[in-house]
Amino acid sequence: MTFHLTINHEKTNPLHFNYCAFNFLCSKKENTISLDKMEWIDLTYAFDSSTLYWPNNIKNFEHTTEAEGITPLGFYYSSYSICTPEHGGTHLDAPIHFAANKETVDEIPLNSLIGNAVVIDVSKNALVNRDYQISIADIEKWEKENGQIPENTIVLFKTGYGQYYPNREKYFGTPNKGPEAIPMLHFPGVDPETTKWLVEKRKIKAMGLDTPSINYGQSKDFKTHQILLGANKPGFENVANLDKLPAKGIHVIALPMKIGKGSGAPLRIVAGIVK
């Protein structure tokens, strides 16, 4: 059975507006979206013993067996407990992470987590310079080939560093852990001026990339975090499989664990593209 969703442009309900983000399948009068014509790509790393966390995190991912096996009544039953820092693996940075009185994880509206997305490939520069900071020129070059980024777009940057996950040394630039490892971090990120430009000139919805942080590894003030999160826009870090996505024509759903008052959370993020 094929499921079709019909959307009336005259509706003002946010749900109708949100689904109209599938503008690559829209007609002027009516939109018909066939979900079986979408290919879904998982952009999430599994949480397990290999999950990477910031060097000074005290704990890593813990998965503890509480029950597993055949019960006295003869049926199989399993149950486990987990423990994880908010920030690690594929995860979301909530605005409160670097901006006082901004949204916590549970306060972020769904409309900020779902929508059209683009992938900007900066791997040519990033792979030859571990300290590369994504520039406005990188985006303008992309726009010359693909058109201007529309407002309320989720912008994802492909640096090429996803190929190194979960190798800590290649991904972070150092195999070391602890506070003393932080000055040794070397990986690309988004220049603060680029972030400000995206927020003010392109009015983006959210931003993410395939590295441990939206700031480059050598950042001291985390200005990119301050700007993006200060504008009440979430960030996505350690995003997987960006090499499987086209430059545009993408719809992203990025739903974090709904942690009350959380500054961040494990994230299940997927991308839908037309087959």
- pLDDT tens for each residue of 214-236: 999 999 999 999 999 999 999 99
Average pLDDT, integer, range 17-46: 64
Compute CA 228 distance to the chain's CA centroid, rounded to the nearest angstrom: 13
Q: pTM, whole model, 2 decimals?
A: 0.87
Side chain identity at 119, as an amino acid letter?
V
Among 3-7, 87-91, 154-158, 249-253, which is the least confidently predicted range?
Answer: 3-7
The pair of three-digit structure tokens given for residue 188, joined into one six-digit string? 């690309």
Neighbours of 69 (CB within 10 A): 8
Where do the domains of the chain lie, and which CATH numbers do they carry? 39-59+86-274 (3.50.30.50)
Farthest CA pair distance, the chain? 67
The pair of three-digit structure tokens given for residue 38, joined into one six-digit string? 């979408």
pLDDT per position as a tens digit, 236-272 = 999 999 999 999 999 999 999 999 999 999 999 999 9
Residue/partner pairs of 144-151 with CB below 8 Å, 24 or more apart = 145/247, 146/118, 146/247, 146/248, 147/248, 148/202, 149/118, 149/198, 149/202, 149/204, 150/116, 151/202, 151/203, 151/204
Q: How confident is the model at residue 7 (pLDDT cuts 50, 70, 90)?
A: very low
Phi/psi for 42 (5° steps) reads -80, 125
Phi/psi for 180 (5° steps) reads -70, -15
pLDDT per position as a tens digit, 137-157 = 999 999 999 999 999 999 999
| Pairwise CA distance, residues 65 & 27, whole Å | 52
Task: For the chain, give the mean pLDDT.
Answer: 90
